[in-house]
Amino acid sequence: TVLIPVLVFLPVFISGSLVVDSITEELDEGTFELLRVAPVTLGEIVDGKAIAAVAIAPGQALVWLLLLEYNGTPVANVATILLLMTALTTLVVGVAAGIAALSPDRRAAQFLYSIAVLVLFGGATAMAGGPTNAVARLAIDSADPATNATVVVYVGLAAAAYLGVRQFIAANGIDG
């Protein structure tokens, strides 16, 4: 119940960090201006970076879970665990993109991202029905209706947060 949440959430944090680095590096190096010349919108550029970061996380988590199964540690509800972690990845990547847009300095953005993730994850973990508890309960097949509700809530939060950040970036742009 400890190992599985750690393995599932590690790709979440890495994906957010990738987005912060990707956007701020483009701004630091001045290559973001070259991307703006392409026939795509600012929102589409950010979407491309975000989708790539979100897409790799479930694959990483799935490999970890398959390795656990291969080594004799059964994991139940893999699809639901991956849905929850993908929602959390989307939420964290949205936060990361928003931070990179507000603070284009790479070091400051990484620091703010780290603090934001610690606060968000720490706050969510402190709740009885938080994501860590939900993943652990799903993995050992002891999920109750509240656990399933947690998954639904995080999917909704992720969608709302990412759409909000995308709208903000599209409306306000990213300054280099």
Whether 77 has a pLDDT exceeding 70, the answer reads yes
CA distance 76 to 66: 11
Angle between helices 106-126 and 3-29 (to 10 degrees): 160
Give me the helices (H) in the chain, please. Answer: 3-29, 32-37, 42-70, 78-102, 106-126, 131-139, 145-172
Q: Residue 176 CB: number of other CB atoms within 10 A?
A: 14
CA distance 129 to 169: 32
In the numeric block, the tokens 């639904």 are attached to 152
The mean pLDDT of 12-19, rounded to a whole number, is 95
CA distance 169 to 62: 31
Of 65 and 121, which is predicted with more confidence? 65
The mean pLDDT of 5-28, rounded to a whole number, is 92
Instruction: Please give the share of the chain, as a percent, with pLDDT higher than 70.
Output: 97
- Quote the pTM value: 0.90
In order of 10, 37, 99, 107, the CA distances from 85 in angstroms are 10, 35, 21, 26
Whether 176 has a pLDDT exceeding 70, the answer reads no
pLDDT digits (tens, 9 = 90+) for 140-161: 999 999 999 999 999 999 999 9
Whether 175 has a pLDDT exceeding 60, the answer reads no
Average model confidence (pLDDT) across the chain: 89
Of 19 and 121, which is predicted with more confidence? 19
pLDDT bin (cut points 50, 70, 90) of residue 125 is confident
Of 176 and 164, which is predicted with more confidence? 164
